[in-house]
Structure 1
Amino acid sequence: MSTTAGTLYVVATPIGNLQDLTPRALEVLRSVSLIAAEDTRHSARLLQHFGITTATTACHDHNERDKSARLVERLLAGEDMALISDAGTPLISDPGFHLVRQAREAGVRVSPIPGACALIAALSAAGLPSDRFSFEGFLPAKAHGRRQRIEALAAESRTWMLYEAPHRLLECLEDLLDILGPERQVVLARELTKTFETIRGAPLAELAEWVRNDPDQQRGECVLVVEGAPQSTDEDALDPAAERVLDILLEELPVKQAAALAARITGVKKNRLYQLALEKGR
């Protein structure tokens, strides 16, 4: 690493409440030569609030690949630089990956300045298992792609999390309900740290109905925290004949219908058969 190279600081900024900007982040933003911001107009409000006059430049999804090389040149010339997104921690469903990767490949020191992150804030308050979890970012915007991704996640045993745009929140919840079933626990964390912060957990059927009946819940930044699928044990093992019935029905019917009919034929609980079908990747 060059002894004359500067440092790229990856700086977390507030997701709502401006008081969540850490003293260290404040010091860095004031001391660097340049701040690379996802949206300079958006970040200007934060910087003005704290009296930060450091120069800014736009670094977002549309220009990051091309601009990163020029920014790395300045870092190699000895300038310190900060990378920020519109809110929260850069690179977490936000731009910055290409700049960080190119900086590291060039031997530039990259230093994180930790702080607010919506997914961690939501997980910490959700009351679902947090020792192991998966973050899925934003699901595909179109219904077919979204449902395919949910189906792929249905048997995931870890708590899993995703971000969703407010205008797609209800559609996403309805797809989750249709694929995961009415009893799966999901927590909606909305507008975290802001005036109308809402954190509500419920079985999917109840949560979807609540959001459907309250348009105010379909506004603002949303995080969904989804309970992992129950893991099967030896005690849960099915009689081979019941599993064979399920397999035959799955060849002709959707998962929900196959599980319901197999339950009537075999006497095994429908939820157990449904879960098994998901584990089979049907």
Structure 2
Amino acid sequence: MSSTLYIVPTPIGNLEDITYRALSVLRKVNLIAAEDTRHTSLLLNHFSINTPLFVFHAYNEKKRVPVLLSKLRLGHAVALVSDAGTPLINDPGYCLVRSCCLLGVRVVPLPGACAAITALSASGLPTNRFCFEGFLPSRQRVRINYLRKIFNETRTLIFYVSKYDMLNVLRDMVVVFGSERYVVLVRELTKMWESIYRGVLKEVLDRVEHGQISIRGEIVLVVAGYCINKQKKREEMLSMEVRYIIDLLAKELPYRRVIDLVVKICGVNKNMVYKYLLKEEI
């Protein structure tokens, strides 16, 4: 195990989800680099593991990397863990792993829990292609601009959302993605209060606003990708205002003239206006 950095996933809730191999590594390494030593101590104590802990979090990562590298180059084995799930996935560790790769230090990843993948697997949304977006920006203007940039993304989108931002994130998604975009809200995975809620954005937002969906605990939001055909159909749908204009013009003008005027004034699809005039199914 000498001169090796182990990437060790830890349970996201249920302690029984840890692997035998993870426990073996945590017992045998010389040091465990942990995001929150108090949190990790609960896990280690539960499995009677006494390996020394080393504080390694987002705020001291750059300063701590040289210390860990020196230990690794001296022949020590180090395990990197986060508070829950797989390290580096929206957690500290990139600088350390990148440095190890550049210096030729062996890096061994262990498979294990990851909230994003666990939520995706139960979402009912396409899993063959997806994007992990982590936490959205906390400032509304920046968040809305970010959502606009990924509006046309056709892959399934996965977000982590804090309970403090949940309402605002859903409201901004309705504004940018539209009220009919399908989402799956997954909370407290593997824990006693694990819950999965499915529906279009408008429905999920309404249930959250009325307290029908709890937003306490850890939340993963899985969002359907942009669907070109459905979006095009929605864009072609005639609003009540456009239908009102068509009805008024049709009382005074020939259908051909009505179609030309409505297309110019409202910018809608010509065929949709024609079908509406003929009372066909739109």
Q: TM-score, normalised by structure 2?
A: 0.81
Deviations 1:142-188 (A, max 9, x none): 11111111111111111111111111101101111111111110000
Q: Aligned AA for 2:52? A: A
Task: Tell me the residue number matched to 1:11.
Answer: 8
How far apart in 2 are the matches of 1:12 and 1:189?
20
How far apart in 2 are the matches of 1:106 and 1:70?
14
Task: Tell me the residue number matched to 1:43.
Answer: 40
Higher Rg: 2
Q: Please report how far the alpha carbon of residue 267 of structure 1 lies from its aligned counterpart in structure 2 after TM superposition.
A: 6.2
Pairwise CA RMSD of aligned residues?
A: 2.1
How far apart in 1 are the matches of 2:272 and 2:139?
36
Q: Please report how far the alpha carbon of residue 216 of structure 1 lies from its aligned counterpart in structure 2 after TM superposition.
A: 5.9
Q: Please report how far the alpha carbon of residue 268 of structure 1 lies from its aligned counterpart in structure 2 after TM superposition.
A: 4.4
Q: Mark the runs of 5 or more structure 2 residues left unpaired by the alignment.
A: 237-265, 274-282
Task: Tell me the residue number matched to 1:280.
Answer: none
How far apart in 1 are the matches of 2:145 and 2:108?
37
Q: Please report how far the alpha carbon of residue 231 of structure 1 lies from its aligned counterpart in structure 2 after TM superposition.
A: 2.9
Answer yes or no: is the 8 Å Cα contact 1:187–1:199 preserved in 2.
yes
Answer yes or no: is the 8 Å Cα contact 1:12–1:84 preserved in 2.
yes
The answer to whether 1:148 aligns with 2:145 is yes
Q: TM-score, normalised by structure 1?
A: 0.81
Task: Tell me the residue number matched to 2:21.
Answer: 24
Same amino acid, percent of matched pairs: 47
The alignment partner of 1:217 has SS state of coil
The alignment partner of 1:134 has SS state of strand
The alignment partner of 2:164 has SS state of helix
Alignment length (residue pairs): 242
- One of 206, 211, 215 as aligned partner of 1:214: 211
Q: Aligned AA for 1:185? A: Y
Q: Mark the runs of 5 or more structure 1 residues left unpaired by the alignment.
A: 240-260, 270-282
- One of 178, 182, 202 as aligned partner of 1:181: 178
How far apart in 2 are the matches of 1:268 and 1:33?
70
Answer yes or no: is the 8 Å Cα contact 1:17–1:194 preserved in 2.
yes
Q: Please report how far the alpha carbon of residue 40 of structure 1 lies from its aligned counterpart in structure 2 after TM superposition.
A: 0.6
Deviations 1:107-126 (A, max 9, x none): 11000111000000000000
Deviations 1:33-61 (A, max 9, x none): 00000111111111111111000011111
Aligned residue runs from structure 1 range 259-274, under 5 A: 261-263=266-268, 266=270, 268=272
The alignment partner of 1:54 has SS state of coil
The alignment partner of 2:38 has SS state of helix
Task: Tell me the residue number matched to 1:83.
Answer: 80
The answer to whether 1:115 aligns with 2:117 is no
Deviations 1:94-138 (A, max 9, x none): 000011111111111000111000000000000000100011111
Task: Tell me the residue number matched to 2:164.
Answer: 167
Answer yes or no: is the 8 Å Cα contact 1:72–1:106 preserved in 2.
no
